[in-house]
Structure 1
């Protein structure tokens, strides 16, 4: 080694060894204390919580009641019509003042806000989804500083902006504000239009230089190594020499470093590194979601800055290829086609500022337990918190990410496009390092709405109006967003609008993704799900009531009837309860009371949706994804969710867990024939025995067939096709049930039941279900037996937040079923409190 190389090596060693002794170049101080708020124009001040919002602050101060309770939502509509002022004071000491640069950072202001620091206006914010950074180096003073934010009424802002246009845009009330659309009310959510500092606010002090952001990309993968690059932006106050280093704290790869000659301003820097024998990131069910910690260190003359990222090595692409049916639509992960199993994710809260990491942990855990591998972040909500994406990374949940535009047309003036551009840049840069992020999607249902929902005729547009509105649409979704993605994240596919065709078009079944709403909106029977199988179903759904305990949480006893005023407030679809009742009349006898109606609604939702999801699964690889509407709720409500606001599982969530298993046996009736399909997400074939057992409702085994079958990888394969009457051999279809099992030796790989008639046509009998309870380390273990066939057996411990390992299951006499109830609470009278019901009990 020559003297020059020795000198450089020695210099680097000194620089990095000194790093621990040097001071950080960047410091952060959160400003979340001592806030107070007031309605603008008044002198009455109240304590405020930051992050937070005006509604939660008004509740905390006893000024408004909980909008979720009974009909209180209507009583708080005045809040969004007013202006609100938030203020705080903080001290700056000599050390803080001595930094070369100080920025005031708002990670989220909701939404139209004028910010003053020490009496001077420093920001006029207009976008809930942007991060705002203001250089306040010359405005801060040593000693006391005063920060004040005036939040303008979003309703008044929208009204003023709408008046500037010569036409009325669809959903005109909400489209002018870059604000969470769902807060203006949806067919599952309340109208609660918030204002406030909804994300952290802090001061960032720095000297010399800092790492602004890093995009870590996987360029090439082989068994031997993965070749990656880190594209960085380094911000320098003045020209300076520095050293950049990329390292693994676990020693997963060798460190790489580079000397830099920084210029004032933003410096673009790229550095390559390699990970030997990489452990790939896989989605839930296909493998481990392996992650690597990567540290990027900048060492300058007087200090250092460190950026920590967690990445996954993987490739993911949306593959669309012409075939004999139309055009495929499927995700390939590390070259492997993946059937997407999951649901649409809306915000977990109407007031997202009060969400915690624990809330996200609970939600993602429930997705994993139900065998999800994908969630679609729907475009009418929010770009979720970092915790959501981190947990999806850790748990192998792929994310279909909409930009926040939904079911409306948007303006295209320069000011609006400019703030949208910043919004897209901010969120793409924030999220692009997440291994879980699979797809960027421009919007929800806007193209579909423009072409199929009659907006143009209903709103009386001239030809010029329509041309302008559609031009503005193209500016955002076919020009601006693709341009930003090309600059900030060219590694992922972009899908302009979901769905590509409305559900009334034949193309919706042969190409692109589909939102099929013939069931529910079109009042079509559940059986239509089998006929309307698309290449990728990204929305479809059916409502059910939340659990009875949830209904009790927002009602009084006199409210608990189907069409009471309070229940109507918590049913946002204009004919939702009537629609549930109509479908229920088709399938079921009349429930004996409202609590039974609530229970049957969940059973019906699970059965009807299972019909659709099973049809999609059986159609692999023609169909390669099913994301039902919807995973969760933002408040206690009657909705399409499988998991209610409090995290309680409806019957659908338990049913989905079975259907989303890697191996699934699916018996079904078609044209008076009994058919059975085996569905597999495994990457290799699975051979075993299919056993079909016919029981009468007293548990007598009437017939049993078995055959050797094979579940093929990434496919649904029909393995049985029998005339139903030949299988029944004279037994009544009204009083028999099929149990289908796929076994490997004595191990049951998967099983399922099939009833041959609708519940209202079956000879159901009320079951006597006996049980034995034992305590274990998780809570309680319950072993059950029944004297007759019991369908949709539901277990409940009132007023307890524990979780059942299984629920809403079927039982056959002679068999036992053991489930656990996980709870952290002591329940001394568990046996007395345990409630058990089956479907026959509801009528």
Structure 2
């Protein structure tokens, strides 16, 4: 059997002398973690401050322009095995590898693995391994100089090197251009032959599951080999003739238990064992994975409304309640299975069923896809091209092909992966962002998205659909046409009020979102500004969006009372973010089956920043998360404007019919009823039903003093006739009590007046604290209970007072002449 020996110990890293290194930075070695990167090594050694705090990122920009040298020594005893390879699962990015002074090879792609023949250069006793990382900046600039510039949404040349694009900075991310041995590295010793690639393609039809196991072998011998595959008690075997290097062995499983997305069935997986044997029958290599039997297709059959974009799993159309996933840490080697599991649990608790892995990050780890398989989270995977024109010439072209082939084969075993997308926004960019004039005939990536990548997917994994880009509307159409295919909606955040989400009738929305600041405890950990203000230096540095602060202010001006201080601003901008996304999600879900998916930008952050995320850079849930949980629930009750009238829409994404009665009332903001009706609900599974509201309930003679409330089975839908800034809210009155629990507090609030979007922020008292619910609107006489997980020594008076306990109507209009 082959043997893999990790080489993860004893590494050091030091900068190579050069002009990029500051004169006062010590050019000496520090211990290096492998897998890891230079930033985390320097941080652990105390050589640099945390790049995520204040504006440290700017002062540390030189690191990406410098060269870095990793070195280690290891002992080696002569082996009888005929092959010994140095297997590098991932090098970031422009590397030259030396063993005992001999150059083994070079790399220029973070997104693929490399293997070098080490046997000729190994010696008994001590061996020295050195990896020299050249600056990714310098490499990209040299490629750009040779091929000609291409348009790019950001200043740095990330489109000229196959590296995680968002390392170079994004409108939510820091510019920290990493280098290092970011994946496992070690010596692989083997004889006879090894499994170079195993690609299981699982399909199911007519009650029969089939696994076609495609095998590639690397040989040291021309003897005949055999390869067998076994799953759930069924087994098949085939022979690989002398000199042959590929084979397919197919296992059939009668009536297999299926893998389903969460909410549609169980996530049944089956262990697949693959064994390679020599002519004498000895096992020389093995491979094992858990696979799932399921079918998936993308329904784009033209209909009366245009071109749908519907994921169909096991014959069942699935409404995608999705979120976009970016790298959860810019320093990706800090990610663990436990941290992935925490994020996935947060996504599932928000009723998410799909993650889109965005094309400016990375192909995620095995832990990511394995957890998605286990939990039933669908994954839509971008190829790694984002917001830029990419050259189709060498040295980039061959890297793209090698990378794509490796990643498609690597991920083929995962039932959660249901679609490949060719790029993020690049076809749209070519059409709408002024690229043709700037390109002057140079290549920009179209050949990748329309020819190279679909051909690779069709060859290596025809079990999954491919779509040329996100967004894309089909050939001969504008790429972001709402009636056709998938679309992104960004004019709302960039230019319009969020109510304009309702102007769209899309088939599938793969990106839309609205910004808000992170949780207060996250801000205070990352930013040392005194006083903290929306425009203080640290806050501005951790706001990367163009005119981001002005766009947040535009949103406040349109909807909410003017903040008196930073506490008001922080709370109200978070409320506005939560409301904006809820407006979009509820509208798009109400259009089902015309619209069959919403993928909110974005689930997570990679550092502490004001952004579109629902989970901030420290892993804390923003108000948006709580709003998303309600908007993505299996059953949704929502009031929508249609053709100048109000309607009630009941959305049922569950497997059982929804039957009941909705009480719909027009109320004064003081709580008195004005008009009321009862509407019977009978909503089939996986459907939405639209019901008209009578005029006396849906109309108001005094919009600033009235609202509509629909209530059914504990679900509520609100409609306010005017914006909060124009509503004659009473000053809030309530009774709040805090009762200690074994692991926190129970806070009960009883309303004396309406309390709009009541929220509790215990992290202001204890950074480790969290709360089970946020943004609850109460009418006079109603109460809400919040369960707080926190230290037992919190001050109950502080827990039930501003700025911890907030509602929108505690921000009262300022009187003339007052100061804030």
Partner of 1:799: 766
1: CA distance, partners of 2:479 / 2:664: 37
Q: CA deviation at 1:536?
A: 0.6
Q: Secondary structure, in 3 states, of the residue corresponding to 2:703?
A: coil
Partner of 1:117: 99
Q: CA deviation at 1:254?
A: 1.9
Q: CA deviation at 1:713?
A: 3.2
Distance 1:605 1:49, change over 3 A: same
Structure 1 residue runs without a partner (length 5+): 1-24
Distance 1:704 1:87, change over 3 A: same
2: CA distance, partners of 1:554 / 1:641: 17
1: CA distance, partners of 2:292 / 2:769: 34
Q: CA deviation at 1:715?
A: 2.8
Q: Say yes or no: does 1:28 pair with 2:4.
A: yes
Q: Say yes or no: does 1:839 pair with 2:814.
A: no
2: CA distance, partners of 1:540 / 1:294: 39
Q: Secondary structure, in 3 states, of the residue corresponding to 2:105?
A: strand
Q: Say yes or no: does 1:85 pair with 2:61.
A: no
Partner of 1:68: 52
Q: Say yes or no: does 1:555 pair with 2:539.
A: no
Residues 520-574 of structure 1 show CA distances to partners (whole Å, capped at 9, x for unaligned) of 22x2222211111211111111111111111111222425112222211111112
Report the number of matched residues. Answer: 792
Q: Say yes or no: does 1:566 pair with 2:544.
A: no
Q: CA deviation at 1:651?
A: 1.5
Q: CA deviation at 1:626?
A: 0.6
2: CA distance, partners of 1:574 / 1:427: 33
2: CA distance, partners of 1:214 / 1:166: 39
Q: Say yes or no: does 1:579 pair with 2:551.
A: yes
Partner of 1:752: 717
Partner of 2:779: 812
Residues 684-705 of structure 1 show CA distances to partners (whole Å, capped at 9, x for unaligned) of 5322211113443444444432
1: CA distance, partners of 2:230 / 2:36: 37
Alignment of 1:194-273 (within 5 A): 194-223=178-207, 225-240=208-223, 243-248=226-231, 253-258=232-237, 260-264=239-243, 266-273=245-252
Q: CA deviation at 1:636?
A: 0.5
2: CA distance, partners of 1:239 / 1:145: 31
Alignment of 1:217-616 (within 5 A): 217-223=201-207, 225-240=208-223, 243-248=226-231, 253-258=232-237, 260-264=239-243, 266-274=245-253, 276-300=254-278, 301-457=281-437, 459=438, 461=439, 465-466=440-441, 468-470=442-444, 473-500=445-472, 508-521=481-494, 523-558=495-530, 560-616=532-588
Residues 429-452 of structure 1 show CA distances to partners (whole Å, capped at 9, x for unaligned) of 111111111111110111111111
Distance 1:424 1:831, change over 3 A: same
Distance 1:729 1:515, change over 3 A: closer
Q: Secondary structure, in 3 states, of the residue corresponding to 2:573?
A: helix
- With structure 1 as the length reference, what TM-score do the two structures score? 0.90
Structure 2 residue runs without a partner (length 5+): 18-25, 813-820
Residues 267-320 of structure 1 show CA distances to partners (whole Å, capped at 9, x for unaligned) of 32313231x432222212222222222222334444453321111111111110
Confirm or deny: 8 A CA contact 1:235 1:265 kept in the other structure: no
Q: CA deviation at 1:190?
A: 1.3
Distance 1:507 1:426, change over 3 A: closer
2: CA distance, partners of 1:663 / 1:177: 46
1: CA distance, partners of 2:244 / 2:191: 13
2: CA distance, partners of 1:729 / 1:575: 38
Q: CA deviation at 1:146?
A: 0.6
1: CA distance, partners of 2:700 / 2:92: 67
Residues 570-618 of structure 1 show CA distances to partners (whole Å, capped at 9, x for unaligned) of 1111210011101211111111111210110111111122111111101
2: CA distance, partners of 1:498 / 1:220: 28
Confirm or deny: 8 A CA contact 1:285 1:371 kept in the other structure: no
2: CA distance, partners of 1:729 / 1:354: 55
1: CA distance, partners of 2:398 / 2:488: 31
Q: CA deviation at 1:211?
A: 2.9
Counterpart pick for 2:164 among 165, 176, 180: 180
Q: CA deviation at 1:360?
A: 0.8
Partner of 1:6: none
2: CA distance, partners of 1:221 / 1:782: 54
2: CA distance, partners of 1:657 / 1:509: 25
Q: CA deviation at 1:833?
A: 5.0
Q: Secondary structure, in 3 states, of the residue corresponding to 1:648?
A: coil
2: CA distance, partners of 1:777 / 1:124: 58
2: CA distance, partners of 1:38 / 1:200: 20
Q: Secondary structure, in 3 states, of the residue corresponding to 2:493?
A: coil
Partner of 2:794: 829
Moved more, 559-568 or 624-633: 559-568
Confirm or deny: 8 A CA contact 2:227 2:249 kept in the other structure: no
Residues 372-425 of structure 1 show CA distances to partners (whole Å, capped at 9, x for unaligned) of 111111111111111111111111111110011011111122331111111111
Q: CA deviation at 1:101?
A: 1.6
2: CA distance, partners of 1:479 / 1:796: 51
Q: Say yes or no: does 1:57 pair with 2:41.
A: yes
Partner of 1:647: 619
Confirm or deny: 8 A CA contact 1:239 1:261 kept in the other structure: no
2: CA distance, partners of 1:624 / 1:559: 46
Partner of 2:630: 658
Confirm or deny: 8 A CA contact 2:646 2:698 kept in the other structure: no
Counterpart pick for 1:733 among 695, 703, 709: 703
Partner of 1:46: 30
Distance 1:391 1:134, change over 3 A: same
Counterpart pick for 1:145 among 118, 127, 134: 127
Confirm or deny: 8 A CA contact 1:548 1:595 kept in the other structure: no
1: CA distance, partners of 2:633 / 2:213: 37
Confirm or deny: 8 A CA contact 2:72 2:128 kept in the other structure: yes
